[in-house]
Amino acid sequence: MFLRPLAVHRTKHRLFHDLRTYKEDPRWPGWQVIIGIETHAQIKSRRKLFSDSFTSTPDDTPNTNVSAFDAAFPGTLPKTNSKAVDLALRTSLALRCKINARSSFDRKHYFYSDLTSGYQITQQYSPLARDGELSLHSLDSPITVRIKQIQLEQDTAKSTFDSRGSRSQIDLNRAGTGLMEIVSEPDMRSPEEAGAYVRALQSILRAMGSSDGNMEQGSLRCDVNVSVNRKGDPPGTRCEIKNLNSVRFMMAAISKMSCLQTFSLKLINQPAHEIKRQKEFLISNPGSSVPQETRGFNEDTFETFRLRSKEDAPDYRYMPDPNLGTLALSQSRIDEIRNNMPPLPWELRSKILDKYPSLKDKEQSLDVLLNVDNGREVGFDGEDGAGAVEYFERLCQAPKRDPIVILNWMTHELLGQLAARKQSFYQNSLTSEQLGELVDLLQDKIITGTSGKYLLRHMLDNPSSKSPKEIAAELQLVAIASSSGTSKASDAGSSPSSELEILCKAAISELPSEVAAFRAGNKNVLNKILGHVMKKSRGRANAKEVRHIVEKLALGDNHNGDL
Ligand SMILES: Nc1ncnc2c1ncn2[C@@H]1O[C@H](COP(=O)(O)OP(=O)(O)OP(=O)(O)O)[C@@H](O)[C@H]1O
Ligand SMILES: [Mg+2]
Ligand SMILES: [Mg+2]
């Protein structure tokens, strides 16, 4: 009884996509571009998919997390890691998939040095989940991309080629790590839609704690399928571009034009990207279709290049894995996961906006916060840890703190500094208490913005449990107060009111010609005098106060203040 409306809805949904009306894209008039994406997301479980060894980060010493099974010793048997399966289930539910109560594993055979067993365990015939969807709200014209299936599989080892020694080196740390292959239907029509899809997927994976979703570090890899057809014609033959490792590269592989804002303009005259290449083929070979190929992407020239044609495609000789049997999932296990799902990114977003309405004008920064790659320790095996959002909320607990100021400091300063150090959020050594106090020092004008940034960098470089106030005093960052006493720097114990005036007086005597020009009416030269004082104060002076004092000293008490 209850299934019927769902089935009708699904049918309508599919029809909508199959017939998705041709919409002219001014970049390739008369043509339609169709894109489908296969993503491989490393599962953020503590242990590998079929063995007890720990999963690794790229920084781990090679070949230190390897069990006999990962190295394919004869006689070793796989044992499915239920935590990894649970994380994949959570992801499948977040993507509104139907869970397959009985899925199974198959062996995909091929011979390469990074695959010691000679086969990869995957789910070719009966995947974990099917028929999901992901809505892309960030686009000007939002779309829904259908998810064809989600399958579990093993990652391979990593081989690197040492050209000096003319030899390949194999690191088995990655061998056997759990992957989710998430396959979309061919529902995207532009590089922008493809980019939005991968970004939305990243935020879901991160919110579910099921993968770091980090393309640069290889925990998320995309294969992009692209085809081109003339308006009114059926879809063209797809070419698959393998292993793209950033959203920008993925968009560039589809169409160089889409990424010219982010990359150098010198690329404008370089040869073909995928859409251009396929269009040119169809124009110069009327009546033929583009040959089906697997292609690579050159990150320097932004060109795709042929790896192999369909005829050269290996015969993987798929066969059911005799050691694993069926992966049976009880309804109660699925229900339990459904009932304990962490909030989805858009749920978290509206919860935060309800709680802190002033952030409505700061949606871009809020999205940065919601999409933070928390790193391995948070949500490891689905456990909850203090991710960036929780950290933000802890900071906002002190009543006098302004959520806008906190959000700015977190997204612009803290996350910026962590990114510069190539650190994930979990590697952040600054506690929420420390950052909170730092922001309080700023709001109370005990330190200036410049000093605050310096203090933050210093604290990240020299982690300690000391309070920012103590460190600010040690580093002599406490702001110099003006004679009007607006600063609370009197805590520092010196006589700060005169210190600022002494600095200003010194500047006036050290820059006589600038002061003369200023007195003669050259307003611009004031900045030079102010810059001189700011430099001498090592960022501890408040620029407004310095300006006021310099004007007063240079022009006498009678200046009208609006120079
Ligand atoms: N005409 C088309 N144009 C663009 N993409 C397409 C087209 N037809 C299918 N696709 C996309 O191609 C992808 C096919 O992936 P799938 O995993 O099913 O097969 P595969 O690429 O043959 O397998 P493998 O996992 O071994 O690479 C899907 O993402 C699908 O949406
Ligand atoms: Mg595939
Ligand atoms: Mg493929």
CB of residue 127 inside a 6 A radius of ligand 1 = no
Quote the number of domains for the chain.
3
| Pair 496, 524 in one domain | yes
Determine which residue's CA is closest to atom 28 belonging to ligand 1.
36
Residue 180 included in any domain: yes
Which ligand minimizes its atom distance to the CA of 238? Answer: 1
Residue 16 included in any domain: no
Which ligand minimizes its atom distance to the CA of 149? Answer: 1
Judged on CB neighbours under 10 Å (0-12, 13-18, 19+), 261 is: exposed
- ipTM of this model? 0.98
CB of residue 387 inside a 6 A radius of ligand 1 = no
Q: Which residues surround ligand 2, an ion (CB under 5 A)?
A: 38
240 Cα nearest atom in ligand 1: 21
Q: Ligand 1 mean position to 464 CA, how many Å?
A: 51
Determine which residue's CA is closest to atom 11 belonging to ligand 1.
36
Residue 533 included in any domain: yes
CB of residue 238 inside a 6 A radius of ligand 1 = yes
| Pair 399, 527 in one domain | no
Last residue of a domain, one of 474, 504, 520: 474
| Pair 426, 516 in one domain | no
Owning domain of residue 547: 489-555
38 Cα nearest atom in ligand 1: 29
| Pair 452, 494 in one domain | no
Residue 159 included in any domain: yes
| Pair 509, 449 in one domain | no
Determine which residue's CA is closest to atom 13 belonging to ligand 1.
36
DSSP letters of 36-71?
EEEEEEE---SB-SSSSSBP--TTSPTTSS--TTTT
223 Cα nearest atom in ligand 1: 27
Q: Ligand 3 mean position to 107 CA, how many Å?
A: 16
pLDDT tens for the chain, residues 1 to 563: 333 333 333 433 443 455 567 778 888 899 999 999 999 999 999 999 999 999 998 889 999 999 999 999 999 999 999 999 999 999 999 999 999 999 999 999 999 989 999 999 999 999 999 999 999 987 888 999 999 999 999 999 999 888 787 888 999 999 999 999 999 999 999 999 999 999 999 999 998 999 999 898 899 999 999 999 999 899 999 999 998 888 888 888 887 655 544 444 334 333 348 899 999 999 999 989 999 999 998 888 788 889 988 788 889 999 999 999 899 999 999 999 999 998 898 888 899 999 999 999 888 888 888 888 776 666 667 655 568 888 999 999 988 899 999 999 999 999 999 989 888 888 889 999 999 999 999 988 888 888 899 999 999 999 999 999 998 888 877 767 655 444 444 444 444 456 788 888 888 888 888 888 988 888 888 888 888 888 888 778 777 788 888 888 888 755 544 43
Residue 82 included in any domain: yes
With a CB cutoff of 8 Å and minimum separation 6, the contacts of 75 are none
183 Cα nearest atom in ligand 1: 29
Last residue of a domain, one of 320, 353, 382: 320
CA pair distance 284, 288, nearest whole angstrom: 9
CA pair distance 473, 539, nearest whole angstrom: 14
| Pair 191, 96 in one domain | yes
